[in-house]
Chains A and B, each alone.
Chain A
């Protein structure tokens, strides 16, 4: 039985800042995350043609790792962290991922030894737990996934992460129907249940291998909502609904920490400021520097409390300024330098607030995720921290309340956004507070409506 969070790690929202966390973590080659400075976390994807064989993939990662490290020392950066998000071959064949981790770590060790540069390596196996048409969260695929974690930990990955998909089969249905109880069931309940299971096992592997169980992100669900919501003029999902999905994802991502994760949380978890307010664990974030991978409407704001600063992912190829990983790692590192100068000169809170205000009123999503409001969502979660349903509902209610509060008057919302918010509030007002009732009603409803929902096989109902 995991211990749920029922208190906040920070006494006040204003105590939260980039580069510092309550519980820093330390990697093997001198890098500390959340210990007073921000570090770039470079993320990349191999060229598709490199995936045809293990040899080609290993070679691709050797080249891009060397490129990143060479650029870091050429421009004089004191630290850098790398994240390898697996292509499926690397997870389905655990020895592939393990060998790549080893090759990358060996390069980091050489640079650390020669130049003293502090380095970290995160490996993120893919969540391969699915058959062609159905999620298969428990069973043979799960075992292969755990083998992959063992292999990358053995190979030298400091930080172990994943982007799990528990609840996605319901989310994909609910998000296209403005179904708020469905979002709570998918993300808050099913997602949290799966997270609790998998992160207990990842932590065991990390402890056995002397590595760090880092963290998860609700990429499969809240990022799907954010991606569908798109820009200001897109009409695929109201941004007020997207932020409700995001708020609900915070207690789901929190479940990973309750089961053993220690941070740094994954970069694309835009819910991470909420999570950090509760756990005090370091987080990675991405924003203006991840435009190579996707657009968002809060590119500066999400830097507010980051401990690692990431670019999400970029395909390895040539650019005018070098290879893509060199260009983006240099940009990330310059950002980190700016943040660290703010800290060193006593201006960190000033810079944090400038970053926040540049986006706070751009969109309902940024408004709720601004650290002062994110903290309020965190408080709503821990109020009923022991109840995974109720805390998810609380997060949704808190985000609606924040958008309806007098403080939101500078946030100009469209009628669509306001109406969607009103509908969401009505749906939340009509919901029960009883977890058992909600779970049994939802089970019945979605078994009837979602053909690919397999509650017994995936969630042990």
Chain B
């Protein structure tokens, strides 16, 4: 027994696929000038050695290492994240590109001896009692790839530690991920403790069993349905959006 599957299902991913390959689309987005073109291609391919080699050549040619971060590495990574946002490439491609780009940033920092100014600082953590941290790993990588300074508190982080880190780092945003309904209640406590301390920063919450209904129960919570929402939310904060506007933008249900 067999069937013609087209009568009972549609693979919309095939139907909606772009005609061009990701490589073709990326190549059209690379800057025309060198070394940016070669380094951008190396970032897209996730080739760390090629990124470093391109940076070495550029620095030998007189380029300022810190300027290379802002003018070459970050725009190169943005090509990758833009293609991810457009649904053209997959997350592992972004992760590998981010690894290559971050290695390039470290190289530039070593060469320069100074530290570039990040777009902003964000504290990430996994809820107390929860050791499932792959979601947080993805969030942190995407934020770093977008140029944010990430303070990663790790997994199973006690509420006290979250509050202490926020007070110490003064981040523009806090993220919390949880897989289990039993652990996500720690987010409410984090929210209450932040408010008690007079801190009103957006607290992006997401992961496994976390849903919008739950996150809307506490004042600072903004629901992030996808990991890719994290850098978008940070960008929105930089653009001046407050809590209400963030909720309006990211609460889709």
Contacts and interface: CB of A to CB of B under 8 A. Distances in A.
Interface of A: 45, 48, 51, 87-88, 130, 132-133, 172, 175-178, 224, 227-228, 232-233, 235-238, 241, 315, 350, 353, 357-363, 410-417, 420
Contacts of A88: 129, 182
Nearest to A361: B5
A360 B5 contact: yes
A413 B184 CA distance: 37
B181 A232 contact: no
Given A133-B155, A416-B17, A416-B90, A87 B182 contact: yes
Given A232-B11, A237-B92, A176 B134 contact: yes
B7 to A, nearest CB: 11
Contact of B90 (A87, A238, A353, A362): A238
A362 B9 contact: yes
Contact of A236 (B5, B14, B90): B90
A362 B11 contact: yes
Contacts of B88: 235
A357 B1 contact: yes
Contact of A176 (B4, B12, B16, B137): B137
B242 interface: no
A88 B130 CA distance: 10
B131 A358 contact: no
B181 A315 contact: yes
Contact of A237 (B12, B91, B154): B91
Given A45-B182, A88-B182, A238-B90, A233 B16 contact: yes
* Interface footprint category on B: 35 or more
Contact of A224 (B4, B134, B155): B134
Contacts, number: 99
Contacts of B131: 130, 132
A132 B154 contact: yes
For the residues of B in contact with A, the DSSP-based class is loop
Contacts of A363: 11
Q: Which residue among A88, A176, A360, A411 has the maximum number of chain B CB atoms within 10 Å of its CB?
A: A176
A335 B154 CA distance: 42
B11 A45 contact: no
B239 interface: no
B95 interface: yes
Contacts of B8: 358
Contacts of B17: 414-416
Contacts of A414: 11, 13-14, 17
B138 A176 contact: yes
Given A45-B182, A51-B182, A361 B9 contact: yes
Contacts of B227: 236
A172 B13 CA distance: 25
B133 interface: yes
Contacts of A237: 90-92
14 contacts: A45-B182, A88-B129, A133-B156, A176-B91, A178-B92, A228-B91, A228-B134, A235-B88, A235-B90, A362-B5, A362-B9, A362-B11, A412-B5, A420-B90
B133 A172 contact: yes
A168 B73 CA distance: 32
A410 B5 contact: yes
Contact of B3 (A232, A233, A357): A357
A235 B89 contact: yes
B133 to A, nearest CB: 7
Contacts of B156: 132-133
A360 B21 CA distance: 27
A-B pairs with lowest CB-CB distance, top 8: A361-B5, A236-B91, A232-B13, A178-B92, A176-B95, A132-B156, A172-B134, A414-B14
B5 A48 contact: no
Contacts of A357: 1-3, 5
Given A410-B5, A413-B14, 17 more contacts: A87-B182, A132-B156, A172-B137, A175-B92, A176-B134, A176-B137, A177-B92, A227-B208, A228-B91, A232-B13, A233-B12, A235-B91, A236-B91, A237-B90, A241-B92, A357-B5, A412-B5
Contacts of B141: 176
Nearest to B134: A172
Contacts of B91: 176, 228, 235-237
Contact of A235 (B1, B87, B184): B87
Given A172-B133, A358-B8, A48 B14 contact: no
Contacts of B87: 233, 235
A177 B95 contact: yes
Contacts of A415: 17, 21
A438 B251 CA distance: 47
B243 interface: no
